[in-house]
Amino acid sequence: MKVVLRFAPSPTGPLHIGGVRTALYNYLLARKYGGIFILRIEDTDQTRFVPGAEEYIIESLSWCGITFDYGPHIGGPHAPYRQSERKAIYAEYAHLLVERGWAYYAFDTEEELEEMRRRFEAAGMSAPQYNAITRSYMKNSLTLPPEEVQERLRSQPYVIRFLVPRGREVRFYDEIRGWVSVHTKEMDDKVLLKSDGMPTYHLANVVDDHLMGITHVIRGEEWLPSTPLHVLLYEGFGWEMPKFAHLPLLLRPDGGGKLSKRDGDQLGFPVFPLRWRDPFTGEVSEGYRERGFLPEGLTNYLALLGWHPAEEREIFTMEELIQAFSLERVSKSGARFDFEKARWVNQQHIRKLPLERLTALVHPLWMARGLPSISEVQLMQLMALARERGALLPELIEAVRFFYEAPTFPLPPEKESKLNPNLVEKLPQWMDHLWALEPWNAASIEAFIKSQAKSEKMTLSQVLPALRLALTGEEMGPSLYVIIELLGRVETRRRLERFLAEYGVRREV
- Residue by residue, DSSP assigns 138-192 as SSBTTTS-HHHHHHHHHHS--EEEE-PPSS-EEEEEETTTEEEEEEGGG----EE
Q: In angstroms, what is the minimal distance from the CB of 204 to ligand GLU? A: 9
Q: In angstroms, what is the minimal distance from the CB of 184 to ligand GLU? A: 21
Contact 104, 140 (CB under 8 A): yes
Applying CB under 6 A, among 3, 5, 9, 467 the residue interacting with ligand GLU is 9
Q: Which stretch binds ligand GLU (CB under 6 A): 7-15, 132-140, 271-279, 443-451?
A: 7-15
Contact 330, 306 (CB under 8 A): yes
Q: In angstroms, what is the minimal distance from the CB of 149 to ligand GLU? A: 32
Q: Is 42 near ligand GLU (CB under 6 A)?
A: yes
Buried b (16+ CB within 10 A) or exposed e, 216-249: bbbbbbebbeebbbbbbbbebbeeebbebbbbbb
**Near ligand GLU in 76-135, by CB under 6 A:** none
- Residue by residue, DSSP assigns 261-285 as HHHHHHHT--SBSS-EE-TTT--EE
**Near ligand GLU in 398-417, by CB under 6 A:** none
Contact 460, 450 (CB under 8 A): yes
Q: Which is nearer to ligand GLU, 53 or 379 (CB)?
A: 53
Applying CB under 6 A, among 8, 24, 29, 353 the residue interacting with ligand GLU is 8
Q: Which stretch binds ligand GLU (CB under 6 A): 4-12, 375-383, 435-443, 460-468?
A: 4-12
Q: In angstroms, what is the minimal distance from the CB of 185 to ligand GLU? A: 24
Q: Which stretch binds ligand GLU (CB under 6 A): 8-16, 262-270, 326-334, 344-352?
A: 8-16
Cα–chain center distance at 258:
15
Q: Is 261 a catalytic residue?
A: yes
First-last CA distance in the chain:
86
Q: Is 219 near ligand GLU (CB under 6 A)?
A: yes
Q: In angstroms, what is the minimal distance from the CB of 44 to ligand GLU? A: 9
Contact 477, 483 (CB under 8 A): yes
Nearest one of 357, 83, 109, 314 to 199, comparing CA atoms: 83
Q: Which stretch binds ligand GLU (CB under 6 A): 3-11, 294-302, 443-451, 472-480?
A: 3-11
Angle between helices 355-368 and 376-386 (to 10 degrees): 110
Dihedral Cα 95, 96, 98, 102, nearest 10 deg? -140
Applying CB under 6 A, among 205, 215, 299, 381 the residue interacting with ligand GLU is 205
Catalytic hit among 32, 87, 258, 261: 261
Applying CB under 6 A, among 4, 10, 103, 298 the residue interacting with ligand GLU is 10
Q: Which is nearer to ligand GLU, 209 or 296 (CB)?
A: 209
Q: Which is nearer to ligand GLU, 8 or 203 (CB)?
A: 8
Catalytic residue set: 261
Interface contacts to ligand GLU, rule CB under 6 A: 8-10, 42, 205, 219, 223
